[in-house]
Structure 1
Amino acid sequence: MGIICEEPPSLLQDLKITIQNVSLVFPSQQTERKSMFLSNIDKVLNFPVETVHFFPSHKDFPPHLVAEKLKNTLARLLVPYDFLAGRLRSNPETGRLEIDCNAAGIGFAVASSEYTMDSLGDLVYPNPAFGQLIVKRMDNLKQDDQPLCIVQVTSFTCGGFAMGMFTNHVTFDGLSFKIFLDNLGALAADKPLAVIPCNDRELLAARSPPCVSFPHLELAKFVDSNVNPPVFDATSEALDFKVFRLTSGNIAHLKEKAKASGGTHKDARITGFNVVTALVWRCKALSWDEETTQGSNNNADRESTLLYAVNIRPRLIPPLPRSYTGNAVLTAYATAKCKEIEEWPFSRLVEMVSEGAKRMTDEYARSAIDWGEIYQGFPNGEFLVSSWWKLGFDEVDYPWGRPRYSCPVVFHRKDIILLFPDIDENNGVNVLVSLPSKEMSKFQSLFLNYLA
């Protein structure tokens, strides 16, 4: 049985943060002034990403020394990552979004909290107050001069500290951000770069002329190309949120369930991600509140479309370098009627999920990129599974040790379900779900019953 957080624990609402200093960090050497092309994938992901990395106290690295070392290290890192010190702009000739690599710098803040790290409670449980560990904008700069990255070091009274990072998603996807952190740790330890970054975003440029060779059910056209398309529309509904914790034993149980119901569905890749995502899809689809539809029996015939991101680096011909710094993820999908999702054996749901990634060949990926060139589209589905589970942010080696925990600062959305690692068990996973109260009750009942 998975460990379910029945109700959100008592969470600190105010971390009592004092910002002591805010400054800009510039590249330590002169970098070339140039414009960086952004791919159609990058352009859609023009929104902020916030992560917090918690570190226990270290006798040789008190927080003030860490802050000083990080600031110096970031200046050196902005040489190979020169685009990070640039600014977003629209090309005056084409109107296309790009990065002006103008060495304008990234933000850096030093802060302190009146609490110990242990006073924060369960670090795994998403606390909106963790947003106080991140500076989101530089108040002394104009809107069009805001940095693409801001780092905040917050010390706690126990000697531990948090490194909060604000980045624009156009700069990195999860895999390239992990490499950026690896390089940050390496330079801070006076070692060479762990991986030399590949900054050539032209590698994911659309073909000329564009050639859309597949139907892209996972994408929707965006009519007004002058406005940045939303990835999903926010809802004004009141939402409950819960974390469903799955142990490695729970995940093994789901894998066995998929094998046991295998029958003719032997092509399913029975991975941890696929079985957890299949379970989440089933629970989400069947927890739909029928009162919101026109009639009580509509949910059975309603189509539910699951979306999730697939790394296309190894899928292209030739493969993209692992060191590619931009966004090299595209949206995979699975879609079925709710009555099918309810009646199918679990293996079939796992197969449907695995087919989404299997569909992502070189030609399919190029077709999706070309589709974006024509239609300026964005992902389209009932909900998105966003997985931070295996990114390994808490495995980065810094001179002061690895993080106790690394996590996104989440905002609760009914159309985004988040998978993130457990703090105590490497192979466990936490599933963050936000739903209206009635749907949450159904989701939880379905989730528990399926694990029984």
Structure 2
Amino acid sequence: MTTIKAFYTVTPNESTPKGCLWLSDLDQVRVLGRLSHSSQIYIYKPKNKNQNKRTIIETLKKSLSKILVHYYPIAGRCCYKEGGRIELDLNAKGAVLIEAETTKTIHDYGDFSPSDSTKELIPKVDYNQPIEEIPLFVAQVTRFQSFGFAIGIAYSHPLSDGVGCFNLMNSWAKISRGETLEDNELPFFDRTVLKFLHTPIEPRFDHIELKPLPLILGRPDTDIERKKKITAEFLKLTAEEVEKLKKKANEYDIPKGSRSRRPYSRFEAITAHIWKSASKARELSENQPSVVRFSVGIRNRIIPNLPKNYYGNALIQTAATSYIGEIKSKPLSYLAQRIREGNELITNEYIRSQIDVIRGFQHLDDARKLFLGGEGKNAAYFVGNPNLHITSWMAMPAYEADFGWGKPFHIGMGSVSPFDKGLILMSPDGDGSVTVCMHFQVELMKLFKKFFYGDLYKLFSSSRL
């Protein structure tokens, strides 16, 4: 059981810019409902098991007030403008720091896979208040029995993508250690670099990522799948297993039509393996369409490139499509190629075309419905059976948030996804191993793991022949 001991509103310890911060069209479509937050947890084992909890809280409060000077938008609030646009009011109302403790020990959480228990380590945001009062950044420090603590965060989607969030956390940690940020570490806030008011609105592509997701054949909606319980488990891949998957994916020639002849990456190989395992576990019709959605960073793809340390949402969603029969029967290279094709769609022209799709709506609520999966019952963001969503944190500096008590030994999501989803991240050991945090239907998880590990075992067995 987790008990909240205190709430602290933390404001910048120096004067910060005022006014409104314009949010790009890519920021606008990250608003789910009235407002939404993503969540993460960081788990720490201080070297000093008797680390004073007051010292921890006071250090975090003080350093948070300092980092808010550099990251002042997160101390502001959202506000609605004409046409459903949202902007950030730079009013310095502050972030929220919550002090909590639990009756559980650090060992009671096992491997910290997302569950009802780990969800208690994530701060709850009260959405039953005007949007102008909802804090954009909330952090909860939960002290475990005996020793160790968690820092759970709720981070507003319009603020930035994962790159910006990790940079914020690592910068906060650096300040907490008593260090100062260098000029090249400071965030760039001006989102108008993605403002294309003087160009015509001309969507130029058939945007696959914006099309309604396929339903299970014979079903009129997603109602049945939404009601099925989802569980989450960590699936480990050693460095050797990752290399085996990459080798398997690259056993066949890359099609000449591909824009690049480079070998398939570990992301493409791992995602292909997840997709194949999920498709086998679901036991759907051979002619059932299936879509894998994932996001691609645009910082170095849009022309001109976004400024260094651009702080905002700089992701474009894309997708790979196939049929269950093909996914199950064709080699891993086929699926890796489908995923690569989705990645290679994201060019400068494609990015600008997708932004033009958003700009073409008179009211942004209509654009949000499109970007979140369609109309009516399918409007909410549901990428469940027969589809899948994959997120990769492999390139993120995820384990650098040392607040002065050592680096986290675990970082991840605190709650279970409402739909089938895979999160791929590197091991904190730095040995090249990978963890897949798989969110999948309870009734199918055992089968998924059977194929996930069974096919890996076959790779190792065949290499010994």
Name 1:56's counterpart in structure 2.
45
Deviation (angstroms), 1:163:
1.2
Counterparts of 1:196 and 1:90, CA distance in 2: 28
When normalised by structure 2's length, the TM-score is: 0.82
Q: Which amino acid aligns with 2:335?
A: L
Counterparts of 1:235 and 1:415, CA distance in 2: 10
Counterpart selection for 1:419 from 412, 421, 424: 424
Please state if 1:285 is matched with 2:279. yes
Please state if 1:302 is matched with 2:292. no
Deviation (angstroms), 1:446:
3.1
Which structure 1 segments of 5+ residues have no match?
A: 1-15, 223-231, 291-298
On the 8 A contact 2:399/2:409 being kept in 1, the answer is yes
Higher mean alpha-carbon deviation, 239-248 vs 106-115, is at: 239-248
On the 8 A contact 1:106/1:150 being kept in 2, the answer is yes
Name 1:6's counterpart in structure 2.
none
Please state if 1:119 is matched with 2:108. yes
Counterparts of 1:153 and 1:202, CA distance in 2: 35
Name 1:332's counterpart in structure 2.
318
Deviation (angstroms), 1:424:
4.9
Instruction: Give the alignment of 1:305-316 within 5 angstroms.
Output: 305-316=291-302
Counterpart selection for 1:154 from 120, 138, 142: 142
On the 8 A contact 1:396/1:403 being kept in 2, the answer is yes
Deviation (angstroms), 1:418:
2.3
Please state if 1:76 is matched with 2:70. no
User: Are residues 23 and 272 of structure 1, via their aligned partners in 2, closer, same or farther at CA, if it must alter by over 3 Å?
Assistant: same
Q: Which amino acid aligns with 2:278?
A: K
Counterparts of 1:57 and 1:313, CA distance in 2: 36
Describe the SS at the equivalent of 2:84: coil
Please state if 1:395 is matched with 2:400. yes
Please state if 1:215 is matched with 2:206. yes
On the 8 A contact 2:208/2:318 being kept in 1, the answer is no
Describe the SS at the equivalent of 1:113: strand
Instruction: Give the alignment of 1:341-420 within 5 angstroms.
Output: 341-375=327-361, 376=367, 377-378=370-371, 380=373, 382-420=387-425
Q: Which amino acid aligns with 2:168?
A: F
Name 1:181's counterpart in structure 2.
169
- RMSD between aligned residues: 2.7
Name 1:204's counterpart in structure 2.
194
Counterparts of 1:57 and 1:373, CA distance in 2: 49
Deviation (angstroms), 1:263:
6.7
Q: Which amino acid aligns with 2:414?
A: V
Counterparts of 2:403 and 2:194, CA distance in 1: 32
Name 2:462's counterpart in structure 1.
none
Q: Which amino acid aligns with 2:405?
A: W
Higher mean alpha-carbon deviation, 333-342 vs 419-428, is at: 419-428
On the 8 A contact 2:177/2:403 being kept in 1, the answer is yes
User: Are residues 27 and 325 of structure 1, via their aligned partners in 2, closer, same or farther at CA, if it must alter by over 3 Å?
Assistant: same
Q: Which amino acid aligns with 2:207?
A: H
User: Are residues 241 and 111 of structure 1, via their aligned partners in 2, closer, same or farther at CA, if it must alter by over 3 Å?
Assistant: closer
Give me the identity figure in percent.
Answer: 28
Higher mean alpha-carbon deviation, 132-141 vs 386-395, is at: 132-141
Please state if 1:323 is matched with 2:309. yes
For 1:315-334, what per-residue CA distance to the aligned partner results, in whole angstroms no more than 9, with x for missing partners? 11121123111111111211
Name 2:93's counterpart in structure 1.
104
For 1:111-147, what per-residue CA distance to the aligned partner results, in whole angstroms no more than 9, with x for missing partners? 2223332333223x22331221232236997564010
Which structure 2 segments of 5+ residues have no match?
A: 214-222, 362-366, 374-382, 459-465
Deviation (angstroms), 1:244:
2.5
Deviation (angstroms), 1:206:
4.2
On the 8 A contact 1:58/1:160 being kept in 2, the answer is no
Deviation (angstroms), 1:240:
4.7
Aligned residues: 418
Describe the SS at the equivalent of 1:300: coil
Counterparts of 2:432 and 2:57, CA distance in 1: 32
Counterparts of 1:233 and 1:33, CA distance in 2: 48
Deviation (angstroms), 1:402:
1.0
For 1:355-393, what per-residue CA distance to the aligned partner results, in whole angstroms no more than 9, with x for missing partners? 222221111111111112225131556221022333232
Describe the SS at the equivalent of 2:88: strand
User: Are residues 302 and 143 of structure 1, via their aligned partners in 2, closer, same or farther at CA, if it must alter by over 3 Å?
Assistant: same
Name 1:254's counterpart in structure 2.
245
For 1:157-201, what per-residue CA distance to the aligned partner results, in whole angstroms no more than 9, with x for missing partners? 333221111111111211111111121122122322151100111
Counterparts of 1:328 and 1:233, CA distance in 2: 34
On the 8 A contact 1:21/1:111 being kept in 2, the answer is yes
Name 2:264's counterpart in structure 1.
270
Counterparts of 2:205 and 2:319, CA distance in 1: 14
Counterparts of 1:62 and 1:287, CA distance in 2: 48
On the 8 A contact 2:174/2:401 being kept in 1, the answer is no
Q: Which amino acid aligns with 1:117?
A: I
On the 8 A contact 2:421/2:440 being kept in 1, the answer is no
Describe the SS at the equivalent of 1:281: helix
Counterpart selection for 1:40 from 12, 15, 25: 25
For 1:14-54, what per-residue CA distance to the aligned partner results, in whole angstroms no more than 9, with x for missing partners? xx222221021111122222111122221222221111111
When normalised by structure 1's length, the TM-score is: 0.84
Counterparts of 1:269 and 1:131, CA distance in 2: 39
Name 1:11's counterpart in structure 2.
none
User: Are residues 88 and 221 of structure 1, via their aligned partners in 2, closer, same or farther at CA, if it must alter by over 3 Å?
Assistant: farther
Deviation (angstroms), 1:235:
1.2
